[in-house]
Amino acid sequence: MQNYIDKLFFSLIDEIKSKNINEIYFNMFTKFKMIPFPTQLSIQQFLNQFQYWGRIEIEHDNYEMLWLKAKVFDEHIDELTELYEKLNDYKSKYILFSILNNFYNFDFDHLKNSIENIYKHYFDLGLMPRLKDQIFVDVGAFIGDSVLDFVDSYGTNSYKKIYCYEISNSNIEKMKENLKNYPNISIIKKAVTATKCELHFDENTESSANKVTENGKNLIEGVSLDDEIIEPIDIVKMDIEGGEYKAIEGMKDHIKKDSPILLVSVYHNNTDLFEIPKLILSYNDNYDLYLRYYGGPIFATEIVLIALPKNRNLAKMSM
């Protein structure tokens, strides 16, 4: 028997399934045009600044983002439904509905209700109440803000060792200052990806969005976590501007052997939301999956997948 959230989700899915890609796009275009014009411009500015999901150029009648989202709905609606079925709590299921409804109907109310206002970004005390003596790997460590949140959430005895991977020189300098009073933290200037390689990137000193590109002006060494870290890993946070899928490919052995807690941003590409959970489960199906939302009420970003190992003794970790 379906509950309220199930009904919301499957009603949305049934509506999308009843349409072809042109009809899906037309619905999204119509709903976008119904929102106030200043909000349209705000969405346009945001999308075109980061260029992860496709562009909107209202004055040129270019709605690439809407078409790309419509394409995802048309081609991957079954995979989105499978993700819903795999999510382990109704908070996660409601978040998934709210995200899809935001993309399809530009609904802001449900998305606003999904925002996490209690716990710090990535660290849900309802799912992980206490952690102790962890080997924590922060991939895309920025200026150390997630490490500080981790220690603030769980205490200084929460970790045994922390590895921070970051590609930006300016961020690394700020991180060193922010974390200087904490022991056993290694700050590593490397890009985490699927295999050892040389990568390019452009440094953006105004933002955390330093993204590896094919023609960036700066060179960075690319490494995999399987090659880099020999010891067992307990927990990984990952936010690397669209490189998360390849980085997970590069820690396949750790996922299989260690079953680390995985805290992964799944919004930088249009298919990450369902492709990344599917990849993790292909390596190790002994995970419970959750979604948490830390973004704003207008356009769904800052979506985090939390993958918790089923047979890892989290109770022991919570002592």
Q: pLDDT of 172-188, one tens digit each?
A: 999 999 999 999 999 99
- For residue 103, pLDDT beyond 90: yes
pTM over 0.95: no
- For residue 193, pLDDT beyond 80: yes
Q: pLDDT of 81-98, one tens digit each?
A: 999 999 999 999 999 999
pLDDT of residue 211: 57
pLDDT of residue 112: 97
pLDDT of residue 316: 43
- For residue 205, pLDDT beyond 80: no
pLDDT of residue 204: 62
Q: What average pLDDT score do residues 192-202 get? A: 85
Q: Which domains does the chain have, with CATH numbers?
A: 4-114 (no CATH), 134-317 (3.40.50.150)
Q: pLDDT of 31-48, one tens digit each?
A: 999 999 999 999 999 999
Nearest to 137 by CA among 280, 272, 271, 240: 240
- For residue 318, pLDDT beyond 50: no
Query: What is the percentage of the chain residues whose pLDDT exceeds 70?
Result: 93
Q: What average pLDDT score do residues 179-200 get? A: 93
Residue 250, phi then psi, degrees to nearest 5: -80, 0
- For residue 15, pLDDT beyond 60: yes
Q: Among 72-86, 213-227, 259-273, whose mean pLDDT is lowest?
A: 213-227
Query: What is the percentage of the chain residues whose pLDDT exceeds 90?
Result: 87
Q: pLDDT of 247-287, one tens digit each?
A: 999 999 999 999 999 999 999 999 999 999 999 999 999 99
